[in-house]
């Protein structure tokens, strides 16, 4: 990222240097604390400068994020963070712009903007905290809540079907799409660093536990004994394996993923992860894999290069200016035809 | 100009009568090219030095079924050797390309006026489609007028013969034939339109040739045909000396935004979602990227205002433009800009409503929405241009206030200003006052204080990228000075009052109102926005008759001009003409306890001079 420098005369910053003086007010035990800690760690590690970093959010628990960062920050309105971020990035492409959003903010009220910011490949990093519930409004079902989920607004179980954030991102042509888990801190740090260094929209879904309104939603992926059978770590160029001793794997059968025993089928039959594939079809298929039928992939689903919106907007202006040469602004005001009254 | 006929010498020139002002209207199907013919006629009239005022009037449907009343598109222009204020009340000459166009427009023609009809289009089927029981050319429907029956279709076809055009392509040249004929009738040169044709159809030479031939054929027909006994000349207007151009309200708004960016030394981001009648501002700025201006066609109205606010947060001049329905969608974000105290300009090109309403027609019914239309106590500055060219100065004023007071400013244009054109004695950049932006700094504090205020009660505009000024803003209530989130009851009331006080000071000094007439008398007309021309013309007429009438036209609507209440109280009566049900009138009554009365019109059409004159007469008669 252009905003990050490690010149010798610039003091090296520690994670704590990115903390603002405001008290963090998330509930004790909330998964957001881990995300905040890893983000600060990554910013320090990549040499980010607070003055060149902007955090923008909408509304919800996740959207309090900017207040806790000693960077520039904008806590905006519900669902619209991508629109403000687009304006900031066009205004100053040198800035490193981050969006903190949630499953309600990003996928419900802000679904439209999420699709378009990704489609345009605006050079921003989107962190979608997915806790599968509305936290700040105290526990209604969200667009990622499972069918039948009983909440205050669905006492008999919701009759809606959940969307999969990564499927939506990939459907909108995301050039970078990844998933991480709040408590899997080392891996979260790795994914955040990858997102921060990608040029273009980086979309990261973070499984985040709301210990008040939806505790244990990701128990299958975080419980030490259950996790190996339910999570696949994606690595570019490596076969998809999981389970204890990587005994299980995924292969394609009739264009569908299938869980196999590696010993039985042999390693050559396994699906090899390719995050750089131009066609996002395999990444999309991975985004559809859901517990309990499948282990759920985490890591980088897709990472490809494409021109960014913000720089292209600037480039077009530069091109028009170069073509016009020395512009006489008064001729712009005068327009093509004038006449003089004596 | 030489007519394209070999025996032109055989025809003796017809007499040329001098007249002062003419109002003509081109009317046809929405596919007949009437807007183009009207625009060309306006351009030429401006170039020959007339004062002009125009009123394009077209349906929302791109192509309504041919020949129907719903599909009629019209373009009215008044051109004059005098200073004029409106596109004219009654039409002197109507060009009707089909029966529907005749039916829709004939009642606006003055008795004795000229009507030129495209006789070829008066066939049984289209006559019935227009709702005539019989051919209006055959009965006494047009008895009060001078009727010229011209076979425009067939003569156009003949003029373009041999150029290898399809019937459809040939038919599309008929607007040029009609235009050529009207050029002859009013003694206008063809050059400007010939140049336009050459440039527009440079890549299709046979189409260029066809349009040229049709235009010349129409002109020659006027000269040679037996039906026109004479033609007319309108002298140059005695406009103030200077260099002029023709400009529409949307063009002026676009130029004003770009110019404000120059004056402020900050780049412009104009973010907008296409909407009638505001889209031309987006088109115009997009075309002028060479000035450094940036545009963003957003996914919706909310994204457009969001991007403008984001750009503003990062130091650009952020602007968005829309119409009433779009303002409704942007309201929450405008509230955020009020809370975060960021500069923002919103151009609302008003149209008939509510809801989708009358997208292509004019109205002034967004005043309440502009002044009050957000949740809670949420004041913004509201300005209104009064002529098409005034949109330029108004958006520059808007940005000047927006950056000085760190506030959103709404500019209330409307469909009439947006599409209407007038001559404009344009300024040079050097004549305009630079827009000064106060510097932001730490001011000796340990931490930057984003809500510390200057003498204007304005907070500093600190830009991301600046070391030491890192800060967080947002929609939650702010603690005074520090800008930290605060739920303190006393702080909230303090901040609500502070925001209100700040906006109440945002006056455009010297340009808040236009006054005409004495400062006391029997009747004061208070108007705002696009009604300026009709009110100004009526008040001048009334004063000529010796009536004690004055005109106060507001360019600043929030805050209202200082001393306005006292000014109004010096008149026996106050009349407020508006293209709504009395929105400004209600505000004036509430704010100043004056017995102001409404003069309302809500028909999607501007006031005529006689609408206002009747209002003046009625108000003065009433005891």
At B9, is the pLDDT very low, low, confident or very high (cuts 50, 70, 90)? very low
Residue B298: list chain A partners with CB under 8 A: 83, 116
Higher pLDDT, B10 or B619: B619
> Do A236 and A139 sit in the same domain of this protein?
no
- Alpha-carbon gap, residue B343 to B320, rounded angstroms: 12
Do A173 and A257 sit in the same domain of this protein?
no
Q: What's phi and psi for B320, nearest 5 deg?
A: -140, 155
Regarding beta strands A176-181 and A202-207, do their DSSP bridges make them parallel or antiparallel, or are they unpaired?
Answer: parallel
Domain B513-621 belongs in CATH node 3.40.50.150: no
Q: Place B61 in a pLDDT band, splitting at 50, 70 and 90.
A: confident
A326 and A179 inside one domain: yes
What CA–CA distance (Å, rounded) separates B25 from B58?
12
How far is the C-alpha of B246 from the C-alpha of B418, rounded, in Å? 13
Q: What is the pLDDT of residue A219?
A: 97
pLDDT tier at A302 (50, 70, 90 boundaries)?
A: very high
CA angle B422, B385, B563 (to 5 degrees): 135
Helix pair B249-264, B279-287: axis angle to 10 deg: 50
Q: Is position A24 within any domain?
A: yes
Q: Span B307-333, mean pLDDT?
A: 98
pLDDT tens sequence across B12-50: 567 888 899 999 999 999 889 999 999 999 999 999 999
Q: Count other C-beta atoms under 10 Å from residue B565's C-beta.
A: 14
Whether B182 has a pLDDT exceeding 60, the answer reads yes
Predicted pLDDT of residue A76 = 98
| pLDDT, tens only, A27-54 | 999 999 999 999 999 999 999 999 999 9
- Is it the case that residue A5 has pLDDT exceeding 60? no
- Asked if residue A222 belongs to a domain, the reply is no
Interface of B with A in 35-54 (CB under 8 A): 43, 46-47, 49
Mean of pLDDT values over B456-462: 97
Average pLDDT, chain B: 95
DSSP B459: P
Does A113 lie in the same domain as A200?
A: yes
Other C-beta atoms lying within 10 Å of the C-beta of residue A23: 7
Same-domain status, A143 and A292? no
Cis peptide before B354 (omega within 30 of 0): yes
B140 and B57 Cβ atoms separated by less than 8 Å: no
For residue B13, the model assigns a pLDDT of 65
Q: Where in A241-332 does DSSP place strands (E)?
A: 241-242, 248-253, 256-261, 296-303
Give domain limits for chain B: 8-234, 248-431, 513-621
Identify whether the C-beta of residue A132 lies closer than 8 Å to the C-beta of residue A142.
Answer: yes
Q: Does B311 touch chain A if contact means CB atoms closer than 8 Å?
A: yes
Superfamily of domain B248-431: Thiamin diphosphate (ThDP)-binding fold, Pyr/PP domains (3.40.50.970)
Greater confidence (A155 vs B83) lies with A155
Tell me: do A80 and A179 sit in the same domain.
Answer: yes
Residue B4: per-residue pLDDT: 33
Q: CB contact, 8 Å: B464 with chain A?
A: yes
**Share of residues in chain B with pLDDT > 90 (%):** 91
DSSP character at residue A107:
I
For the record, the structure tokens of B85 come out as 């204020």
CB contact under 8 Å between A75 and B473, yes or no, is yes
Residue B172, pLDDT score: 95
What is chain A's mean pLDDT, rounded?
95
Element (H, E) at B599: strand B596-600
In the numeric block, which tokens belong to residue A242?
Answer: 């999981």
Q: How confident is the model at residue A8 (pLDDT cuts 50, 70, 90)?
A: low
Neighbouring C-beta atoms of residue A279, cutoff 10 Å: 10
Contact B42, B421 (CB under 8 A): yes
Q: Cα-Cα-Cα-Cα dihedral of B353, B359, B364, B369, to 10°?
A: 60
Mean pLDDT of A190-211: 98
Tens of pLDDT, residues B517-537: 999 999 999 999 999 999 999
Would an 8 Å CB–CB cutoff place B378 in contact with chain A? no
B302 and A339: CB-CB below 8 Å? no
Identify any residues that bridge with B425 across adjacent strands, giving them in sequence order.
B244
Are A124 and A252 part of one and the same domain? no
User: CA nearest A4 in B: which residue?
Assistant: B465
Strand partners, B345: B319, B409
For B311, the closest of A71, A90, A339 (CB atoms) is A90
Identify whether A177 is part of a domain. Answer: yes
Query: Which residues are paired to B551 by β-bridges?
Result: B516, B525
By mean pLDDT, which of A7-21, A123-137, B94-108, B595-609 is the weakest? A7-21
Question: What residue spans of B17-151 are helical by DSSP H?
Answer: 34-47, 99-105, 124-129
User: Count of domains in chain A?
Assistant: 2
**CA B493-B495-B499 angle, 5° bins:** 120
The per-residue pLDDT for range B440-453, each reduced to its tens digit, is: 988 888 889 999 99
Return all residues near A11 (Cβ < 8 A) that are at least 6 apart.
none
Comparing CB atoms, the residue among B303, B467, B469 nearest residue A113 is B303
Residue B610 to residues A306, B517, B536, Cα–Cα distance (Å): 62, 19, 12
pLDDT at position B12? 57
Check pLDDT > 80 for residue B2. Answer: no
Would you say residue A100 lies in a domain? Answer: yes
Residue A87 and residue A159 share a domain: yes
pLDDT at B444: 87
Q: Which domain holds residue A97?
A: 1-217+307-342
Cross-strand pairs, B17 = B232
pLDDT (tens digit, 9 = 90+) per residue, B44-54? 999 999 999 99
| Cα B234 from Cα B222, distance rounded (Å) | 17
- Inter-chain CB proximity A332 and B291 less than 8 Å: yes
Q: Which CATH architecture has domain B8-234?
A: 3-Layer(aba) Sandwich (3.40)
Assess whether the region B8-234 and the region B513-621 belong to the same CATH fold: no
Point out the residue among B43, B269, B306 whose CB comes nearest to the CB of A91: B269
């Amino acid at each position: 990222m252009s905003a990050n420098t490690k010149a010798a005369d610039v003091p090296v910053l520690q994670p704590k240097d990115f903390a603002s003086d405001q008290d963090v007010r998330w509930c004790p035990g909330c998964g957001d604390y881990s995300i905040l800690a890893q983000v600060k760690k990554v910013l320090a590690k990549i040499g980010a400068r607070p003055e060149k970093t902007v955090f923008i959010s909408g509304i919800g628990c996740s959207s309090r994020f900017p207040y806790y960062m000693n960077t520039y920050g904008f806590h905006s309105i519900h669902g619209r963070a991508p629109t403000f971020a687009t304006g900031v990035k066009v205004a100053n492409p040198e800035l490193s712009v981050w969006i903190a959003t949630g499953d309600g903010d990003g996928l419900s009220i802000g679904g439209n903007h999420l699709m378009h910011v990704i489609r345009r490949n605006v050079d921003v990093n989107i962190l979608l905290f997915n806790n599968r519930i509305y936290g700040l409004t105290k526990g209604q079902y969200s667009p990622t809540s499972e069918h039948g989920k009983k909440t205050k607004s669905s006492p008999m179980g919701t009759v809606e079907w959940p969307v999969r954030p990564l499927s939506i991102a990939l459907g909108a042509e995301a050039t970078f799409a990844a998933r991480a888990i709040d408590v899997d801190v080392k891996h979260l740090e790795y994914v955040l660093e990858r997102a921060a260094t990608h040029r273009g929209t980086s979309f990261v879904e973070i499984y985040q536990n709301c210990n008040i309104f939806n505790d244990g939603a990701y128990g299958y992926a975080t419980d030490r004994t259950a996790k190996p059978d339910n999570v696949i770590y994606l690595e570019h160029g490596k076969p998809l394996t999981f389970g204890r001793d990587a005994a299980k794997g995924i292969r394609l059968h009739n264009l569908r993923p299938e869980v196999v025993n590696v010993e039985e089928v042999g390693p050559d039959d396994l699906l090899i992860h390719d995050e750089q594939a131009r066609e996002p079809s395999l990444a999309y298929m991975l985004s559809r894999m859901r517990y309990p039928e499948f282990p759920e992939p985490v890591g980088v689903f897709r990472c490809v290069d494409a021109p960014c919106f913000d720089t292209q907007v600037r480039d077009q202006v530069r091109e028009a200016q170069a073509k016009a040469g020395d512009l006489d602004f008064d001729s712009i005001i005068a327009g093509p035809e004038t006449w003089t009254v004596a | 100009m030489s007519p394209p006929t070999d025996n032109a010498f055989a025809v003796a020139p017809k007499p040329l009568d001098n007249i002062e002002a003419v109002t003509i209207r081109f009317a046809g199907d929405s596919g007949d090219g009437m807007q183009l013919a009207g625009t060309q006629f306006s351009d030429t009239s401006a170039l020959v030095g007339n004062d002009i005022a125009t009123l394009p009037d077209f349906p929302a449907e791109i192509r309504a079924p041919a020949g129907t009343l719903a599909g009629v598109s019209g373009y009215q222009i008044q051109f004059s050797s005098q200073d004029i204020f409106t596109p004219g009340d009654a039409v002197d000459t109507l060009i009707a390309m089909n029966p529907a166009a005749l039916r829709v427009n004939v009642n606006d023609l003055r008795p004795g006026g000229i009507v030129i009809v495209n006789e070829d289009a008066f066939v049984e089927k289209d006559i019935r489609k227009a709702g005539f029981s019989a051919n209006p050319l055959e009965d006494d429907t047009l008895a009060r007028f001078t009727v010229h029956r011209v076979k425009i279709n067939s003569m156009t076809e003949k003029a373009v013969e041999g150029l290898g055009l399809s019937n459809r392509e040939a038919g599309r040249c008929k607007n040029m034939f009609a235009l050529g004929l009207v050029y002859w009738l009013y003694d206008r040169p063809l050059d400007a339109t010939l140049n336009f044709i050459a440039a527009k159809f440079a890549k299709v030479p046979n189409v260029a040739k066809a349009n040229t031939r049709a235009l010349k054929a129409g002109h020659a027909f006027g000269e040679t045909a037996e039906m026109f006994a004479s033609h007319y000349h309108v002298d140059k207007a005695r406009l103030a000396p200077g260099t002029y151009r023709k400009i529409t309200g949307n063009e002026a708004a676009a130029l004003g935004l770009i110019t404000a960016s120059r004056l402020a030394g900050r780049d412009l981001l104009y973010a907008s979602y296409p909407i009638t009648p505001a889209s031309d501002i987006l088109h115009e700025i997009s075309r002028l990227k060479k000035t450094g201006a940036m545009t963003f066609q957003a996914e919706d109205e909310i994204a457009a205002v969001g991007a403008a606010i984001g750009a503003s947060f990062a130091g650009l001049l952020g602007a968005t433009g829309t119409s009433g329905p779009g303002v409704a969608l942007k309201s929450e974000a405008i509230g955020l800009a009020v809370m975060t105290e960021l500069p923002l300009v919103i151009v609302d090109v008003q149209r008939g409503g509510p809801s989708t309403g009358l997208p292509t027609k004019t109205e002034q019914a967004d005043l309440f929405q502009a002044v009050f239309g957000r949740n809670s106590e949420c004041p913004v500055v509201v300005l209104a241009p009064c002529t098409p060219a005034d949109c330029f100065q108004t958006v520059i004023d808007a940005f000047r206030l927006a950056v000085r007071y760190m506030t959103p400013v709404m500019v209330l244009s409307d469909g009439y200003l947006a599409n209407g054109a007038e001559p404009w004695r344009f300024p040079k950049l050097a004549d305009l006052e630079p827009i000064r932006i106060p510097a932001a700094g730490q001011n000796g504090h340990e931490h930057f204080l984003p809500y510390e205020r200057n003498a204007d009660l304005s907070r500093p505009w600190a830009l991301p990228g600046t070391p030491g000024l890192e800060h967080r803003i947002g929609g939650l209530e702010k603690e005074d000075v520090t800008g930290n989130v605060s739920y303190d009851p006393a702080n909230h009331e303090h901040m609500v009052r502070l925001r209100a006080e700040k906006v109440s000071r945002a006056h455009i000094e010297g340009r808040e109102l236009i006054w005409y007439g004495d400062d006391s008398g029997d009747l004061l007309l208070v108007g705002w926005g696009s009604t300026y021309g009709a009110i100004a013309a009526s008040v001048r007429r009334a004063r000529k008759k010796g009536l004690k009438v004055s005109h106060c036209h507001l360019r600043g609507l929030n805050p209202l001009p200082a001393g306005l209440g006292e000014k109004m109280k010096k008149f026996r009566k106050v009349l407020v003409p508006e293209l709504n049900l009395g929105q400004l009138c209600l505000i004036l009554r509430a704010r100043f306890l004056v017995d102001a009365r409404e003069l309302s019109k809500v028909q999607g059409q501007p006031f005529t001079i006689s609408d206002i004159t009747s209002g003046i007469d009625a108000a003065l008669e009433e005891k």
